[in-house]
């Protein structure tokens, strides 16, 4: 009789039943589990450990593209996923190439984690991170780009004793129920990844956060390599100019959309140049800037997908940013688009209950013509539920933005199309990575359906 082994979905479900809370910050359980697994965190390639509130994913996308353009074998880990855990665990597959972990690989590592854990309390993220570390330790690579999940000090990824470098992306107010309500407190949690005598590359920070980072770094003898001090990056004549003590680099602009990506790309260059013998060359850095791929961040969706319901000449954009800082940069990007090619902006918004609607919507005052509130289609990977459409409507109206509820993505787009009265509009689906993932899946289905219809019609 053949015994059918459970797939990764069943194992992840079992993992989620091991702790009554989705988030419970401590390293005790993680250390116990890793010991039982033979300490895979001690058998990793050199690690770049990344923490911060925003831009972690974009940074890793730039770095991976630069390093792979230089022929390096690169692992990477990020969270949360847009679709499934596989995409979060990316393994080097050869010189200059990597791919998401296979179903077989994920199933094997999750099974090992569950067996070693022996039903002891464990959060989902701890188990997933342990599985990722097993996969990374078992696959040859030159470098691992490791992103924290939440905070830094007590994050499950903070088990690497001596990373090659640490990186702190912009720090803002988010996850206050876990990290604290002030920038100083949150910065202290993020700075928990700093290790004595290991350099830390620091993005542009607000003064309160930077003061706390400097104090912690001084106590640990950590050299801080700060944006605006040791290095700078800016746009000039349609190029990205990077400057540090080594001189100037004249580079192409990043292909990821938004003015904030200038800073993110500059941070990636600053990190890349301080990798020692692993540092990519200037040509590889330039190539990486123009080839980085990071879905769900100011991504324009094709005309033959969900956008097809909107009037001719309309644009449909998507961004998974979900806090005040990300809203500010997204709103700025939308305002700049309006200056170049004027079209009324309409938001399709869904958010987790843990996120502040007022803080997110404020930057869109005077930028967005309307807000359509929806429930998030899938919150199975979240630790809280979705804001109700009625709550989104009230928050938008408090900011002076016309708002109405809808039953879902398709209904929201149809309602916006009716209000557009056959005139081109610009629509932004926003507020949550969960919504971004669901929207990308729905868009792919719509594109596939359009292709099938076209083939049928042409037959």
CATH classification of 299-458 is 3.30.230.10, yes or no?
no
> What are the tokens at 456?
């049928």
Q: CATH fold of 8-291, please? A: 3.40.1190
In whole angstroms, what is the distance from residue 329 CA to residue 251 CA?
A: 22
Residue with tokens 């219809």: 453
- Span(s) in the chain for CATH 3.90.190.20: 299-458
> What are the tokens at 237?
């004549």
In whole angstroms, what is the distance from residue 412 CA to residue 390 CA?
A: 14
> What are the tokens at 397?
């109206």
Task: Please provide residue 62's backbone torsions phi and psi, each rounded to the nearest 5 degrees.
Answer: -65, -45
In whole angstroms, what is the distance from residue 271 CA to residue 184 CA?
A: 24
In whole angstroms, what is the distance from residue 144 CA to residue 92 CA?
A: 9
- For residue 74, give the 3-state DSSP assignment: strand
In whole angstroms, what is the distance from residue 377 CA to residue 435 CA?
A: 7
- Span(s) in the chain for CATH 3.40.1190.10: 8-291
In whole angstroms, what is the distance from residue 163 CA to residue 195 CA?
A: 8
Strand spans (E) along 295-392: 299-300, 315-319, 345-349, 370-373
230: Cβ contacts below 8 Å, ≥ 6 apart = 244, 245, 270
Q: What is the pLDDT along the chain (459 residues), one digit of tens a residue?
A: 334 457 999 999 999 889 877 778 899 999 999 999 999 999 999 999 999 999 999 999 999 999 999 999 999 999 988 889 999 999 999 999 999 999 999 999 999 999 999 999 999 999 999 999 999 999 999 999 999 998 999 999 999 999 999 999 999 988 788 788 899 999 999 999 999 999 999 999 999 999 999 999 999 999 999 999 999 999 999 999 999 999 999 999 999 988 899 999 999 999 999 999 999 999 999 999 999 999 999 999 999 999 999 999 999 999 999 889 899 999 999 999 999 999 999 999 999 998 999 999 999 999 999 999 999 988 777 778 899 999 999 999 999 999 999 999 999 999 999 999 999 999 999 999 999 999 999 999 999 998 888 765 444
The four Cα atoms 209, 211, 215, 221 give a dihedral, to 10 degrees, of 80
> What are the tokens at 69?
């353009």
Question: 53-63 burial, b for 16+ CB within 10 Å, e for fewer?
Answer: bbbbbbbbbbb
């Amino acid at each position: 009789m053949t015994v059918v082994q459970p797939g990764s979905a069943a194992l992840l479900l079992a993992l989620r039943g091991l702790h009554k809370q989705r988030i419970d910050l401590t390293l005790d359980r993680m250390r116990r589990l890793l010991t039982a697994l033979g300490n895979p965190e001690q058998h990793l390639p050199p690690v770049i450990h990344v923490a911060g509130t925003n831009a972690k994913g974009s940074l890793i996308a730039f770095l991976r593209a630069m390093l792979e353009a230089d022929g390096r074998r690169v692992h990477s880990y990020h969270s949360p996923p847009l679709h499934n855990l596989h995409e979060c665990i990316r393994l080097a597959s050869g010189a200059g190439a990597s791919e998401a972990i296979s179903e077989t690989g994920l199933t094997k590592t999750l099974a090992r984690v569950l067996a070693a854990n022996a039903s002891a309390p464990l959060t989902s993220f701890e188990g997933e991170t342990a599985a990722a570390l097993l996969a990374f330790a078992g696959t040859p690579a030159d470098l691992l780009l490791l992103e924290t999940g939440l905070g830094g000090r007590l994050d499950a990824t903070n088990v690497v004793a001596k990373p090659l470098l640490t990186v702190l992306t912009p720090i803002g107010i988010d996850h206050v129920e876990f990290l604290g309500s002030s920038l100083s407190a949150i910065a202290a949690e993020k700075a928990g990844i700093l290790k004595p005598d290991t350099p830390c590359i620091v993005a542009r920070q607000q003064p309160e956060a930077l003061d706390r980072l400097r104090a912690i770094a001084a106590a640990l003898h950590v050299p801080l390599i700060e944006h605006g001090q040791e290095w700078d990056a800016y746009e000039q004549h349609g190029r990205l100019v990077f400057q540090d003590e080594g001189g100037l680099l004249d580079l192409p602009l990043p292909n990821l959309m938004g003015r904030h990506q200038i800073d993110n790309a500059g941070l990636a260059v600053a990190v890349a140049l301080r990798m020692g013998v692993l540092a990519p060359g200037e040509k590889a850095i330039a190539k990486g800037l123009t080839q980085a791929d990071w879905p769900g961040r100011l991504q324009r969706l094709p005309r033959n997908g969900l956008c097809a319901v909107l009037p001719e000449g309309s644009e449909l954009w998507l961004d998974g940013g979900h806090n005040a800082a990300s809203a500010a940069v997204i709103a700025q990007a939308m305002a700049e688009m309006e200056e170049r090619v004027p079209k009324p902006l309409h938001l399709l918004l869904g958010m987790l209950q843990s996120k502040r609607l007022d803080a997110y919507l404020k930057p869109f005052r005077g930028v967005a013509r309307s807000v359509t509130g929806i429930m998030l289609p899938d919150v199975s990977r979240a630790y809280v539920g979705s804001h109700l459409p009625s709550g989104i409507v009230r928050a938008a109206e408090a900011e002076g933005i016309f708002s109405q509820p809808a039953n879902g993505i398709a209904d929201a787009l149809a309602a916006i199309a009716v209000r557009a009265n056959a005139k081109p509009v610009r629509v932004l689906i926003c507020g949550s990575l969960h919504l971004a993932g669901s929207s990308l899946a729905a868009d792919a289905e719509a594109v596939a359906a359009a292709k099938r219809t076209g083939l049928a019609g042409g037959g």
